[in-house]
Amino acid sequence: MPSKSIDHAFTASSLTSASTDPTHAGVLSFMRRRFTKHLEGVSTAIWGIPFDAATSNRPGARFGPQAIRRASAIFDNDPQYPFGRDLFETMPTIDYGDCLLDYGNHWLTPQTIEDEASEILSKVDYLLTLGGDHFITWPLLKAHVAKHGPLALVQFDAHQDTWFDDGKRIDHGSFVARAVRDGLIDPDRSIQIGIRTHAPEDCGIRLIYGHEVEDMRANDISSLIVEHTGGLPAYLTFDIDCLDPAFAPGTGTPVAGGPSSAKVLAILRGLGQLDIRGSDVVEVAPAYDHADITAIAGATVAMYMLGLRAERLAKTS
C-alpha cells in the first residue's frame, strides 16, 4: 500500500487531507483529524474537556473525550452518511486535544475552561467540545457569547438543568439557570428537547418533553426548533442522556423513556437552517457503557454537528 499512511493524526499532509488509517489501528484523534495546538488556517477545532466533578450521580464522564475519539474511528474515509460528502474537504479541522485541569482545585475549573475556549475562538470560527459533564457548557457559553453575543440555546437532554444556585457551585444541574440570569442566552428563543424530569423553574424556555418527542415526527421537531430560535445564532448542546438508556447506557444520570438514536439523529439532520455557532457533546461515561454503544452514539452526534457545519459552509461559499 505505497500510497497509504497510518497515524493520520500526526502524518496528515494538510488540515483537509483524507485519512487512510485502518479502522482498528492508528492514533485516535477525533475522526483522524490532525492533533495540534496550532490554529493557523483552521476553520473548526475539536476539543476535549475531561471533567466530571460536577456530577450528581455516577461519575466517569472525565473519560468521555477518550471514548468518543475511540468510537469515531468507525467513520472511515468514506463520504459521511447522511451528508454524502467528505466533511473536511473545504473545512480545515483539527483535534486540539484536551483542556488541562487541576483535579485538586476545582474552583479554578470554570475560568480555566473559559480562558482556553476564548483563546481557541479568537482564531477559529467554530469549536466543537467533547465532555465531560454538563457543567462545562457554562464556561463554554461565556466564551462563545463573548465572541458572538447572546445566543439561543438548543439543548438535547433528559434534564432541564435550571436549578438555581449561588453562582459559585460546581454543579451540572444549574448552568441553564445561570445562563438565563446572566443574559448569555435568550430564553424566549431557547428550547430543550427530550426532557423527562421536572425542575422548579423552566426559565421561560420552550420544552419538548420525552413523550412529545415520541409522538412527534422528527422533521416536525426539527422545524419547531428552527422556528422557535427565530434565526438567532444558536449554541447546540447535546447531553447523551437525552437518549433512552437502551441507546446510551454509559452516562451518569440515565432516565428511561427517551428517544432512540435514530430518532434524534433524524432531528439533528433537519437542523440545516439553524445558525449554530458552537456545540458540545457531554455526559458520556464509558465505565457504564456496553460495546461502546454510548460512545458510538456520542461520536455520531458530534459527526452530525460537523456535517451540518460543512453543509452550511458549502452553501455560503
Which residues contribute to the annotated binding site for Mn(2+)? 134, 157, 159, 161, 239, 241
Backbone angles phi, psi at 150, to 5 degrees: -55, 145
For residue 127, give the DSSP letter.
E
252 burial level (CB within 10 Å; 0-12, 13-18, 19+): buried
Distance CA 292, CA 277 (A): 29
* CB-based contact 61:131 (threshold 8 Å): yes
* Annotated binding-site positions: 134, 157, 159, 161, 239, 241
| Residue 136: its H or E element | none
3-state secondary structure of 47: strand
Q: Where are the beta strands (DSSP E) in 132-182?
A: 152-156
At residue 302, what is the residue type? A
* CB-based contact 259:214 (threshold 8 Å): yes
Backbone angles phi, psi at 26, to 5 degrees: 95, 165
Distance CA 190, CA 203 (A): 10
Count the Cβ atoms, other than its own, within 10 Å of residue 109: 21
